Amino acid sequence: MATQSPVNAILDETTSSSTHPSALQILHDWLTTADHKKIGLMYIGYALLFLVVGGFQAILMRIQLAIPNNHFVSPQAFNQLFTMHGTTMVFFVGMPVLFGFGNYLIPLMIGARDMAFPRLNAFSFWIAAFGGFLLYFSYLGAPGLSGAGSAPDVGWWAYAPLTARAFSPGHSTDYWTLAILISGIGSIGTAINIVATILCMRCPGMKLSRMPLLVWIYLVMAMMVFVTISPLTAAQIMLLLDRYLGSHFFDTQAGGSAVLWMHFFWVFGHPEVYVLILPTFAFANEIIPVFSRKAVFGYPAMVAATVAIGFISLSVWAHHMFTVGMGPGANTFFVLATMTISVPTGIKIFNWLATIWGGKIHFTSSMKFAIGFLFQFLVAGLTGIMLGSAPFDWQLSNSYFVVAHFHYVLVGAILFMLFSAFYYWYPKMTGRMLSEKLGTWHFWLFVIGFHLTFDLMHIPGILGMPRRIYTYEADRGWMMWNLLISCGAVIQTVATLIFVYNLIWSYFKGPVAGADPWDAWTLEWSTTSPPPSYNFAVIPGVSSRRPLWDLKHPEDPDSNYE
| Binder of another protein out of 27, 304, 474, 539 (CB under 8 A) | 539
Which C-beta is closer to Cu ion: that of 41 or that of 410?
Answer: 410
| Binder of another protein out of 9, 353, 462, 480 (CB under 8 A) | 9
Are 97 and 43 spatial neighbours (Cβ–Cβ below 8 Å)? yes
Least distance from C-beta 552 to another protein, angstroms? 9
Q: Which stretch binds Cu ion (CB under 5 A): 66-74, 95-103, 122-130, 266-274?
A: 266-274
Position 348 contacts Cu ion (CB under 5 A)? no
Position 267 contacts another protein (CB under 8 A)? yes
Q: 246 touches which of another protein, Cu ion, none (CB within 5 to 8 A by kind)? A: another protein
Q: Which stretch binds another protein (CB under 8 A): 83-91, 255-263, 324-332, 483-491?
A: 255-263
Classify the phi-psi angles of 255: left when phi > 0, otherwise alpha if psi is within -120 to 50, otherwise beta.
Answer: left
**195 vs 43, 99, 120, 536, CA distance in Å?**
18, 12, 13, 21
- Spatial distance between the Cα atoms of 100 and 250, rounded to a whole number of angstroms: 35
Which C-beta is closer to another protein: that of 34 or that of 490?
Answer: 34
| Binder of another protein out of 125, 515, 518, 545 (CB under 8 A) | 515
Are 455 and 489 spatial neighbours (Cβ–Cβ below 8 Å)? no
Position 117 contacts another protein (CB under 8 A)? yes
- Spatial distance between the Cα atoms of 217 and 283, rounded to a whole number of angstroms: 9
Which C-beta is closer to Cu ion: that of 112 or that of 387?
Answer: 387
Q: 473 touches which of Cu ion, another protein, none (CB within 5 to 8 A by kind)? A: none
Position 407 contacts Cu ion (CB under 5 A)? no
Which C-beta is closer to Cu ion: that of 122 or that of 275?
Answer: 275
Least distance from C-beta 165 to another protein, angstroms? 12
Q: 257 touches which of another protein, Cu ion, none (CB within 5 to 8 A by kind)? A: another protein
In 3D space, the residue among 524, 561, 438, 520 whose CA is nearest the CA of residue 5 turns out to be: 520
DSSP secondary-structure letter at 512?
B
Least distance from C-beta 341 to Cu ion, angstroms? 9
Least distance from C-beta 182 to Cu ion, angstroms? 25
Q: Say if residue 258 is exposed, middle or buried (CB neighbours under 10 Å; 0-12, 13-18, 19+).
A: middle
In 3D space, the residue among 231, 256, 229 whose CA is nearest the CA of residue 243 turns out to be: 256
Binding mask 373-412 for another protein (x = CB under 8 A): ----------------------------------------
- Give every CB contact of residue 434 below 8 A, 6+ residues apart in sequence: 365, 422, 423, 426, 427, 502, 503, 506, 510
Q: Which stretch binds Cu ion (CB under 5 A): 171-179, 206-214, 265-273, 329-337?
A: 265-273
Please list every residue from 32 through 91 that binds another protein, using CB under 8 A.
none
| Binder of another protein out of 246, 346, 358, 511 (CB under 8 A) | 246
Q: Which stretch binds another protein (CB under 8 A): 80-88, 172-180, 243-251, 472-480?
A: 243-251
- Spatial distance between the Cα atoms of 78 and 72, rounded to a whole number of angstroms: 9
Q: Which stretch binds another protein (CB under 8 A): 230-238, 436-444, 448-456, 467-475?
A: 230-238
Q: Say if residue 468 is exposed, middle or buried (CB neighbours under 10 Å; 0-12, 13-18, 19+).
A: middle
| Binder of another protein out of 73, 86, 170, 247 (CB under 8 A) | 247
Position 480 contacts another protein (CB under 8 A)? no
| Binder of Cu ion out of 270, 348, 428, 432 (CB under 5 A) | 270
Q: Say if residue 13 is exposed, middle or buried (CB neighbours under 10 Å; 0-12, 13-18, 19+).
A: exposed
Dihedral Cα 305, 310, 314, 315, nearest 10 deg: -10
Longest dimension (CA), the chain: 75
Q: How many residues bind another protein (CB under 8 A)?
A: 72
**207 vs 200, 542, 561, CA distance in Å?**
11, 9, 15
Which C-beta is closer to another protein: that of 347 or that of 513?
Answer: 513
Q: Is the peptide bond prior to 107 cis by the omega test (within 30 degrees of 0)?
A: no
In 3D space, the residue among 441, 436, 456, 451 whose CA is nearest the CA of residue 496 turns out to be: 441
Question: At 97, is the secondary structure helix, strand, or coil?
Answer: helix
Q: Which stretch binds another protein (CB under 8 A): 127-135, 165-173, 226-234, 483-491?
A: 226-234
Question: At 267, is the secondary structure helix, strand, or coil?
Answer: helix
Please list every residue from 165 through 194 that binds another protein, using CB under 8 A.
188, 191-193
Please list every residue from 431 through 450 that binds another protein, using CB under 8 A.
431
For the chain, state the CA radius of gyration.
24
Which C-beta is closer to another protein: that of 272 or that of 516?
Answer: 516
Position 428 contacts Cu ion (CB under 5 A)? no
Least distance from C-beta 137 to another protein, angstroms? 26
Handedness of CA 115, 117, 118, 120 (dihedral sign): negative
| Binder of another protein out of 39, 51, 116, 335 (CB under 8 A) | 116
Please list every residue from 518 through 537 that binds another protein, using CB under 8 A.
523, 526-528, 537
In 3D space, the residue among 389, 380, 392 whose CA is nearest the CA of residue 417 turns out to be: 380
Are 242 and 249 spatial neighbours (Cβ–Cβ below 8 Å)? yes
Q: 537 touches which of Cu ion, another protein, none (CB within 5 to 8 A by kind)? A: another protein
Q: 270 touches which of another protein, Cu ion, none (CB within 5 to 8 A by kind)? A: Cu ion
| Binder of another protein out of 82, 175, 249, 454 (CB under 8 A) | 249
Binding site for Cu ion (CB under 5 A): 270
